Amino acid sequence: MHYLIKIEYLTEFLGGDYEVQGAYPAWEYRKESPLRDKMVAVFEEMYGHKPEVVAIHAGLECGLFYKKMEGLDCVSLGPDMKDIHTSEEVLSIASTERVWNYLVQVLKNLKD
């Protein structure tokens, strides 16, 4: 978001006003997450190894939900993608199918 600082500076220097829209609110990594623990267990059961669990710095929809429902236990997941938000963006159909099957199994386990 460094470009916003430049825009803010230039706009104020020239005596103008500006408004930022569409920024995602923060969603902090939680050390303890019952949902994440259940999802890790389902992943291990399905694929025979632990998933890679990482925290990233990005605008995600989870931040929007968390802002409205503070304390909500959120997990973000998705298929393999490359060159996101460019004209060269690529989505792996095979990984999309794996994510779908995994999500269905997670939902079944949460129901029980």
pLDDT in tens, 3-17: 778 888 899 999 998
Does residue 83 lie in a domain region?
yes
Residue 96's Cβ-count burial label (10 Å; 0-12, 13-18, 19+) is middle
Q: Report the relative pairing of strands 81-82 and 90-91 from DSSP bridges.
A: antiparallel
Residue 56's CB: how many other CB atoms inside 10 A? 7
- Are the C-beta atoms of residues 103 and 46 closer than 8 Å to each other? no
Does residue 11 lie in a domain region?
no
> pLDDT tens across 24-59, in order?
777 888 899 999 999 999 999 999 999 999 988 777
Does residue 6 lie in a domain region?
no
Report the C-alpha gap between 47 and 45 in whole angstroms: 6
Domain that holds residue 76: 24-111
Does residue 5 lie in a domain region?
no
Report the C-alpha gap between 30 and 66 in whole angstroms: 12
The tally of domains found in the chain comes to: 1
Does residue 14 lie in a domain region?
no
